[in-house]
Amino acid sequence: MHAISAGGGGREAGQGNTSLLLGRILVGAGQGILLYWLFRELAARTLLAQSPFFGPLVLVSLLIPPVVTLGFAQLRASRLAVWCVALGAVVAWLAWHSAWRLAGPGQDAGPPVDIASAWALVFPGATAWFYASVFVFISYALIVAGESAGTWFAPYPAYFRTGWKLGLQIHLAALFAVVLYLVLWLGAGLFLLLQLKFLGELLREAWFNIPVLTIAFAVGLHITDVRDDFIRGLRTLVLTLLSWILPLLVLIVTGFLLSLLVKGLAPLWATRWAASLLLGVAAVQIVLINAVYKSGLGEGPLPRVLRRATYVGCLTLAPLVAIAGYALALRIGQYGLSDRRVLVAAALIVAGCYAVGYAWAALERHGSLRRIAPTNVLTAWVTLAVLVAVFTPVADPARLSVWNQVARLKAGKVSPEQFDFQYLQLRAARYGREALASLRADTSGPNAAAIRERIEAVTQKRAAGKIVPPAAPLDAAAIGKNLTVRTTGRALPATFVSNDWRSGNAQGGLPDCLRSAGERCDAYIVDLAPERGPAVMLMKASTRFGVLLEADEAGLWRVTANFYMPRGCEAMMGEALAQGSYRATAPAMPDLAINGRRLRLQPTDRAETPCTP
């Protein structure tokens, strides 16, 4: 009876794992479909892709589905829904701010005119994406540990197990997805040896690639979740290896601090990046200390060298962070705030929490370092607050930097000739442009006139370099003003004027007169063949180069050919086109059809017949 009962339990567990796997595959597939839809919206430059909601949708679609995938087995459905909504709201806020700060003053998001501009304006930047991922990682680890303990502040071992397991799961699932994708490409190569191209063609399609990768990542998360014994073994191995690096790092840091007593701090200030390097060393030291500490030093026997290295590491962390803070304070006093210095200051706040807490733990009477545990939990919450502040208007690095630098300029600490107005114009997001407009309009102050002169000089220099912000897509009326129809007795087709020139399928090779206001083109309506319908030839004024546009079966107009008129023949040929004095002729060299592909032969004789009236 016992064996039968056990077997039944095994079958139930197997069925539960199968249901869990299917659910996670469905979440991965749904994430892939959603990301592909967003990719298509961006490629087609739809209204959604140009709205301030696109960035939040992208970032939420990237980060929240993995939370759902893991939460199936770790949280109750109602609690999972609540936490996903909360995390999604914060992530969307971070992404919205990332797009909002790049848009011009008075706009919610800039209207991009090409993929690069769209990506920069409405898709979260790499920095926002990375730190939003860190926010979701820390938040989810705190949530799961707290939910498992039924309290906001769980026992430290729960945080330790959850955090390390989640970190290993993410890395292993990503590795699983990458290896699977590489195997698919190897398979495509094998089939290609047999002249079978179907798999290679599939792997070039976004509608196939994106869902495959998201499903593979979801399956990787599932495998690492159900094999908890494997994760525990891997965690032990990783922490053991890392822990034995701590004595070496502590020896190096101790030697560095002792050398400072002889060399002094002057060599540090000469580097101009001392604070960043010191904080980087401090971050590595914190990770290695936790690799030794694990869920507590009482977890198991610990070699004496590791125990002593942990104590010394906890004590030497404070001077490292203090020197980094002093270096940063000196740079800010000399040159004011910059985006980078604000980010370093944010990192310094987090590092300072660790430094104070670990020194407090090392000075504990019983020598158990138990205070590391509450320090880690408290600093995790501080990190979340710092991330939200830095990547929202509360403490946006550009906002703080602009405020500080403009204050220094007005106070006379830096002269208008030395002030970097290009920073305000190009690298300080909307805050810089707003400050530039305010400075241009300000007539008070001893340096107001000099400031306005410098602003005008920088603005003219930028215009001369043709660095201009992206223009809004033209409507039908604006395009009509840009085009002068030269063909006698004919007008542009109605579908041409109303064509959606923002569509990704129509963008290739478009002339400026279809993109920007004030750009003029001559338009000729020509008939290449009765079955092809009317075509439109556009030539920019005073040039001999142009494009031919035709409507496809769906009625979408696009560039189908380029042309240039022989030098000196522009006026004569343009007049002939306007009067309809032309005919379609066969090319000078025929094309060759080879296995269904067309090979176009280009004549080598470049001699041009002189134009005659």
Give me the pLDDT at residue 300, please: 63
357 and 419 together in one domain: no
6 and 72 together in one domain: yes
For residue 581, pLDDT beyond 50 = yes
Give me the pLDDT at residue 474, please: 67
Mean pLDDT of 554-565: 82
Indicate the SS3 state at residue 302: coil
Exposed e or buried b per residue across 437-454, where buried means at least 16 C-beta atoms within 10 angstroms of its C-beta: eebeeeeeeebbeebbeb
Report the DSSP pairing between strands 557-564 and 545-551: antiparallel
406 and 449 together in one domain: yes
Mean pLDDT of 509-538: 82
Mean pLDDT of 13-40: 85
Q: Residue 600 falls within a domain, yes or no?
A: no
249 and 351 together in one domain: yes
SS (H, E, C) 309-362: HHHHHHHHHHHHHHHHHHHHHHHHHHHCCCHHHHHHHHHHHHHHHHHHHHHHHH
443 and 500 together in one domain: no
Average pLDDT, rounded, for the chain: 82
For residue 520, pLDDT beyond 70 = yes
Give me the pLDDT at residue 518, please: 67
Give me the pLDDT at residue 121, please: 45
Give me the pLDDT at residue 467, please: 42
Q: Residue 470 falls within a domain, yes or no?
A: no
495 and 520 together in one domain: yes
Give me the pLDDT at residue 108, please: 39
User: Cβ atoms within 10 A of the Cβ of 371, count?
Assistant: 17
- Residue 257, domain extent: 244-390
For residue 505, pLDDT beyond 60 = no
Give me the pLDDT at residue 74, please: 84
Domain boundary among 443, 464, 485: 464
pLDDT digits (tens, 9 = 90+) for 227-281: 888 888 898 899 999 999 999 999 999 999 999 888 887 777 666 778 889 999 9
519 and 490 together in one domain: yes
Percent of the chain at pLDDT above 90? 33
Domain boundary among 187, 218, 236: 236
For residue 34, pLDDT beyond 70 = yes
Give me the pLDDT at residue 274, please: 83
Q: Residue 453 falls within a domain, yes or no?
A: yes
At 1, the pLDDT band (50, 70, 90 cuts) reads: very low
Domain boundary among 464, 496, 514: 464
Angle 44-48-50 (CA atoms, 0-180°, nearest 5)?
Answer: 80
For residue 20, pLDDT beyond 90 = no
Mean pLDDT of 504-510: 57
**Range ranked top by mean pLDDT from 61-70, 147-156, 363-372, 595-604:** 61-70
Rounded-to-integer distance, Cα 24 and Cα 225, Å: 11
pLDDT: is 398 or 5 the higher one? 398
At 610, the pLDDT band (50, 70, 90 cuts) reads: low
The domain tally of the chain equals 4
Helical H segments across 45-76, by residue range: 54-74
For residue 447, pLDDT beyond 80 = no
Give me the pLDDT at residue 174, please: 94
Q: Residue 284 falls within a domain, yes or no?
A: yes
218 and 265 together in one domain: no
Lowest average pLDDT, out of 166-175, 360-369, 452-461, 552-561, goes to 452-461
Taking 3-state DSSP, the helix, strand and coil percentages for the chain, each rounded to the nearest 5, stand at 65, 5, 30
146 and 209 together in one domain: yes
Q: Residue 554 falls within a domain, yes or no?
A: yes
96 and 228 together in one domain: yes
Q: Residue 599 falls within a domain, yes or no?
A: no
Give me the pLDDT at residue 131, please: 84
Q: Residue 563 falls within a domain, yes or no?
A: yes
At 15, the pLDDT band (50, 70, 90 cuts) reads: low
Q: Residue 446 falls within a domain, yes or no?
A: yes
257 and 117 together in one domain: no
Give me the pLDDT at residue 113, please: 35
442 and 505 together in one domain: no
pLDDT: is 469 or 233 the higher one? 233
pLDDT digits (tens, 9 = 90+) for 276-315: 899 999 999 999 999 999 887 655 677 889 999 999 999 9
For residue 577, pLDDT beyond 60 = yes
pLDDT digits (tens, 9 = 90+) for 489-498: 888 888 887 8
For residue 530, pLDDT beyond 50 = yes
| pTM for the predicted model, two decimal places | 0.69
For residue 189, pLDDT beyond 80 = yes
For residue 584, pLDDT beyond 90 = no
Give phi and psi for 599, each to the nearest 5.
-105, 115
Rounded-to-integer distance, Cα 172 and Cα 342, Å: 33
